[in-house]
Structure 1
């Protein structure tokens, strides 16, 4: 821009003063714009990072609650386990060590151990490790005292033997009003902390006293948010809850609405705090904000500078034009107004599009989070239901082979007394076969708990039916029932697993025998029948009884866990049978009318004729 300089010794022209005022105003406006853009950039960066921190905190709580709820059910289930009560009664405890070790591996629990009434450990999943808990006295621990007084308790503490921190979840074991002991599950949160690290920033959980229990920064564990009073420190030292941890304050300091950290890295952070439901804990998340502030300030200041420079250039052009002619200045002013209107409309349009895009992204993130939560809850419910079935199912499934085993053992003793060696050897052979069958059943149930059911194979149906009738031979004779059994077509095979198919048949036949015995008056024969029908690609096996039958409500709940019409039934036999048949790719259905008995129908796929069992 060219201007003729004023002559020496003369005052600046009015146009020169105008340009001087214009330059001064431009400098002031640019300074104000940059300062305002910096403040706005700082606020927007903090707001954006804070929104990320809120979302991250929500996800971190969901991960922690998922682990807590999964593990809290374990002590309550084990408190009802007959093997646990047997060990507390003085029976063999090594088998319980092995069982605890297997459950700990399956549920990813750090340690499961059993305390007697004095607080002494008598069985533990880490029985074979150098840091085994067996023989240690934990009566001084608050989780033991809490379980004794309240029935259950939770305490986060540092292990006195393993020196690893974790949450101890306990449940009291009673026999009526008599205390038997306490079952303890120790949960370590290494996997939870690893999942938290994927969210970015630093996350820690503190108890109601402000002591850090969990953290993505290992150095922060057992630090405190604020100095503790002397009495609180003495109480913590007495209980050995955190060992010899110094309980030093966290390396954090407030800085206006932000938090300044000094370790592991120095910088400003946005901090969010939320209470953890079902606990007395709270969770804090810190996200670094320095870089975001600098980036947002730089972006806004660059944008403001460009807009201001454009405006100043336009103003300078308009000022020069104004000096030339009033009409041209008026035209330039109209052009400026039109340009500013279009810029404002475009800016508003872009801002609206940006807000809509941000809202759609946030809604998508929330939908994905809800989907992930729903899937995790369904998986957790399935694992806990399966574990409950397997735990109670072992005793239920082997009772029938045990009854048959006892009968054959008594027969063998009678044959020995009568010096009938051939008959005694035959009875003992059946005893050996039944013990092998019990082992196969327990191995099958253990495999079912691990979701590993093995491959299906062609099973000769006549052998499976004969095996089931052999197991129930004694109960049938004692009940005076001669079952009517259809002959299986020669060579007819179905896709199944031999032992599990026998389990299903034994369970259905046992239920039929009990139903007939409960009938009053005694119905007319046949009291129990077992039918076999070849229906093309499938085989239908029916077990029918002449018992009292079931009403509509009982029939609807027939395959629901822990629902039984028997006074001492667990309500698991038909549930397990239904699951086994479903795993074969078949169906198990029931029909009944009160007074007409029940009919259970198993439908299985037929094996190809060229297959070998």
Structure 2
């Protein structure tokens, strides 16, 4: 005999199982409806996209047959269909248009249905000579209307959408132009998706689908009338038509369901469909209901689990209360430990920050010292160049001084003899010689002073003139001849006048060293503008630069001169100066011999004021 506690436990278990069964049944039914509604919403979106894609692909080709039918060559061919020249011209025209538009086929038919020109005239499946009078698109066009028809080609055995338009010569219909569009690309995009997209014709026959085994299968029973209408237009040529084993139902009287039975398997789909009235098609999006039903079952089980969890809530409650104090103690200990770690980490970060600040200060000081050292090297290079030129420049000053002395003595004698005109001429010569020495002195003083870092527009011709005043004595001592080509128009570059002058002095002086003692002592200086840049090239006719030292020639203290003849800083300083200008300095060997130094700088618009540095 069952005791009261046992009966009570059994009653509780029975009530729990009954409640669980109700929850499972009600939850499954409710969740199934929700998930099927969601699937139907997704299907509607997919359906709209599929229809929009089909209409977009079709509609963009619809006006083309009328345009081709209005072409003069096509009209002439329709009037004179036996003219071989017109046929050849029309065939080539249709082939070119077909390749340009990437359509399937374009062809011209006479009013009796015979094809006289086609884009595939040179292929084995050419339409030329074929008669397609049985096609509805031809019958519509012959009656003066634009035709549209989807079918399987009887010659090419390719599916396509046909557009047709009458060829009007005056008010007479002399032929038909047919334009066939390939639909395989759109169909291929449907394969591999989560949904099955199919398109059926007015007879319910599937002619577009992502599943090849459903192609040419009927969603509706294939009655004799349906088969007869299909065979009359030869819509599917010799394709075998079958019936798809389907049965229709609905969920809750509002969601259409379609069940397909094949290969001992029954699969249920949610059928979302709409018609394309202009094409006479019905587009179906079939969504497998297994996913929705599985999700609904999962939700129902989740409801059941929630019920079970609620039954266990009371048991868990007192356990949570017992552990609450322990957890609070653990949290307090963890908080204290975390605060200690934060303090330690903060102290470490502060130390690291102080170390970083020290390193940054040291780096800034190093950078300032490096810039000062670089400036000192530039000035040292300039002073070294002045020292090398001092011997030659002393000769330049001695000659005018000797001449001044001679002209002064002669002027005294002429004044004593009261030959005033000749004395005035000697004084004028003395003045000219003084101006010459002052000019040389001014150029040397400007060359020797330290420039600031300001950059601006610099006129190349002016810099070259100042450079010539500096290197004239070096060129003279080397018996070198400087050939200058400044181009058709004056040019300006973004640079500093004095530092650019120093670069040119270094390069021209090196060129003079390279040609000294040779038979050909010509140095060529040319200036060219190209695409916002200005190139200054200095070429000598010396031995050139060996490949072994070409990569090191701009290194500091690298020189090929003898001891006491150079510090090896000139080209290194010049390279850095040009780099500071935002330009480049390079060296290469000329194909006809000698070395070529090329300076590239940014071009600036011509201005009349000098760029001070």
TM-score scaled by length of structure 2: 0.47
TM-score scaled by length of structure 1: 0.47
